[in-house]
Chain A
Amino acid sequence: MGQPLPKEDLLIRMQRDLKKALTKNPNKISWAMVIDLAKCVGCHACTIGCVAENKLPPGVVYRPVLEEEVGTYPNVRRRFLPRPCMHCMNPPCVKVCPVKATYKTEQGVTVINYKRCIGCRYCLVACPYAARTSDFGEWYTQKTPDLPGKLLGRKQAASGYENKPAAEYGKTWPDRGHGSPVGNARKCHFCLHRLAVGMLPMCVTTCIGRATFFGDRNDPEALISEQLASPRSYRLKEELGTQPSVVYLK
């Protein structure tokens, strides 16, 4: 037989690891993510969970799942590769940002200061993983017929979803006019706002196959450290020397 059945859901263990990490000195934490491609079924729940959590507008996506069909009939299969921001230890995006709007936190997360970003999109061009998207200020409800004063209609739909403030970086971003994050580069931030209150990133929580692992890689007892030590581990475009904090398991 294969491995014994887990005694507890992996999420419970990661949650415990997270709470333990949060009691540490923040400077001693180094967040990392592992994605087990053998477990990923390509359900896109992480993508949708991320969009809902961060109130992402059209054309902005932090964690798409790349799909590829490989082989020839009858030996064909689909391959799925969730692609969040790699939170590189040697990030090309940080180097090229002309106004220091994007930088690395002490915990190794690459973040964007929305109020500082000038929207030059140089970081989008520099990122080798296409992990950044620009917010062009579009609305899902842009062409929804408007029926003022009725129950249904654009205004109601908008106020029901798009007008709700996103909680990214622990702040509220209600403005969908010209103000930030419209006009900014946007990307995955490991759900820092959720981590701050002891919750795992949305993509980890919503993964139905428990394919995404998250935690403090400085904790040798954490589940993430076990996964990082796997011989199946590899990183995307390793030859570029970006040293991603997101590791894949073949």
Chain B
Amino acid sequence: MSKKRYKVLMILGVIGLIIGSWGMGSRLIFGHTAVNYGSYVPWGLWVVFYLFFVGLTAGAFLITIMTYMFRVERLKPIGRLSAFTVLVALVCELIFISLDLGHMERLYRFLITPNFTSMMTWFVVFTTLMLIIYLLESFFLLREDLIRLSQAEQVKAKKIYHLLALGKTGYTEADRERDKTRVRRLSIISLPAGLLFYGTNGAFFAILQNRPIWNSAMTPLLFIVAALLSGGALITALIYVFHEDEELVKPMGQVILYLLAIFLLLEVLLFFVGYQSKVTGIVTSLNLIVFGRQWWTFWIIHLFFGTLIPLILLIKYGDAPRAVAWACFLIVVTFVTVRFNFLIPDLAIYKLDGLEYTFFHRRLRTHYIPSLVEWLVSLWIISFGLIAFLAGSRWLPIHSSAKEEGKQGPTTWFNILNSISPDSEKGEKEHA
């Protein structure tokens, strides 16, 4: 990434953080009084973004599958980038869902009185497992360079790197081999863990028998495909921006194209089966997506910008990395509306006839539009994630490419590593 682009994104992140602080302060001081969701639509924008970030974590999962199941050795160099992306996305996801809780200070209850009949408990278990796996994987992938940075004379924050390397000062060939094995084992564990993680996320909704669209065996599968699509698209866009590796972007584009086609097929099935069932609740819910007040999020944002244009770009210009990156970027940013249209319309129907004509209060309505505070808090968390990612990309050795050399400032990890050892890149590639 060029220094200019980095600066622009960093400034945008800081501005977002400053503006979002107003909403964050409001949430922390006044609680849930300024949110627009209520008792009939109990989850709102923060849960939408939570689902969105859950999906984004699937990028590394996709890389793992392709590298270790389909033996696509070409993807190994992006292991660090994808593992770090998962970490940032998981942290953002956890902030979103914590702020959505009425009593986030009681999160420890998951440890003391867990209820294993609840899908939420299992989701917390698998989220924690994923967090541990990717923390360890990132650590073992970066350890060698962290140690070298902690030893380098020209590095100012040597102590921080020393701390991140957990005090280790030397790194032998045996260490390298051990870390390589550990990364491989962690990647293999992450396969079932990831499938359970994304599947549980879908089952979380699918088990609710009174919910018209969610209550389907297809929901967990839809969640897995949706996660792979959005996460894979994010990683592809990041490979283009950070690695500028055209040969890697093209096959990734093909994978995204197939995933987009599968996702579309599942979506068509969802609508077809739903409308054919003629069950009032299901039809009402689907009508809310297609003809409701937020119809434009489905037709314009999701189908036009998030599906049609990426499809054209991927099919017609699949050989052009820039076009592939743009297609992936569009898929990622528009995927929020997919999550929105999955979550809100299903909640936005009254469960009993006559409920809408009794006890009027804004919390007892099914019409939901996110409040300003909800948007500002979301802006804060996204800006935080952006800054964390940019800072990580600048100060941590999370990606490797010869093309990066000289593009970044003199204090970045890459130039330092290069100045320490001329064959650092080689070692890094071997390690990855």
Interface of A with B (CB < 8 Å)?
A: 47, 58-61, 64-68, 79, 81, 83, 92, 95-101, 116-122, 124-130, 132-138, 178, 180, 182-185, 236-237, 240
Task: For residue A137, give the distance in angstroms from its CB to the closest CB of chain B.
Answer: 5
Residue contact A180 to B110, C-beta cutoff 8 Å:
no
B121 CB contacts on chain A under 8 angstroms = 98-99
- Cβ of B5 under 8 Å from chain A: no
List 13 A-B pairs, Cβ < 8 Å. Answer: A58-B361, A61-B359, A96-B207, A98-B110, A99-B114, A117-B103, A119-B103, A119-B106, A125-B347, A133-B364, A134-B32, A136-B38, A137-B31
A111–B317 alpha-carbon span in the complex (Å): 59
Q: Determine, out of B132-140, B219-227, B349-357, B380-388, the stretch whose residues face the partner at the interface.
A: B349-357
If the complex has contacts A98-B118, A120-B120, A136-B38, are A126 and B208 also in contact, measured as CB distance less than 8 A? yes
Tell me how far the C-beta of A238 lies from the nearest C-beta in chain B, rounded to whole angstroms: 13
Q: Is the CB of A118 within 8 A of B347?
A: no
Nearest A-chain residue to B118, judged by Cβ: A98
Residues 129 to 173 of chain B near chain A (Cβ within 8 Å)? none
CA distance A135 to B113 in the complex (A): 22
A83 touches B31 (CB 8 A): no
Which of B31, B107, B117 is the one whose CB lies under 8 Å from A178?
Answer: B31
Give chain A residues whose Cβ lies under 8 Å from the Cβ of B100. Answer: 120
| CB of A82 to closest CB in B, whole Å | 10
B 78-116 binary contact with A (CB < 8 Å = 1; else 0):
000000000000000000000011111011011011110
Mask, B360-375, CB within 8 Å of A = 1, is: 0111100000000000
Binding site for A on B (CB under 8 A): 30-33, 35, 38-40, 42-43, 100-104, 106-107, 109-110, 112-115, 117-121, 124, 207-211, 347, 350-355, 357-359, 361-364
**Contact of B101 with A119 in the complex, beta carbons under 8 Å:** yes
Known interface pairs A59-B362, A64-B355, A120-B120; A183-B102 also in contact (CB < 8 Å):
yes
- Nearest CB in chain B: distance from A115 CB, A: 8
Question: Contact between A128 and B115 (Cβ–Cβ < 8 Å)?
Answer: no
Q: Are A122 and B120 in contact (CB under 8 A)?
A: yes
Which residues of the other chain, A, contact B119 by a CB distance below 8 angstroms?
96
With A66-B354, A92-B208 known to touch, is A136 a contact of B118 (CB < 8 Å)?
Answer: no
A125 to B100, CA, bound (A): 14
Given A100-B115, A138-B33, A182-B31: A59 and B361 within 8 A (CB)?
A: yes
Give the top 10 A-B pairs by smallest Cβ distance, nearest first: A119-B102, A183-B102, A59-B363, A66-B354, A128-B210, A98-B120, A121-B42, A133-B39, A99-B109, A68-B354
- Is the pair B42, A125 in contact by a Cβ cutoff of 8 Å? yes
Collect the chain A residues with CB atoms within 8 Å of residue B38's CB: 59, 134, 136
Nearest-Cβ distance from residue A65 to partner chain B, whole angstroms? 6
Q: Which residue of A lies closest to B34 (CB)?
A: A136
Instruction: Assess A122 versus B118: contact at CB under 8 Å? Given A67-B357, A136-B38, A136-B363.
Output: yes
Asked if B114 and A134 make an inter-chain contact with CB atoms under 8 angstroms apart, the answer reads no
Find out whether the CB atom of B361 lies under 8 angstroms from the CB atom of A118: no
Q: Contact between B42 and A124 (Cβ–Cβ < 8 Å)?
A: yes
Cα(A181)–Cα(B358), bound, Å = 23
> Once bound together, how far apart are the Cα atoms of A61 and B114, in whole Å?
28
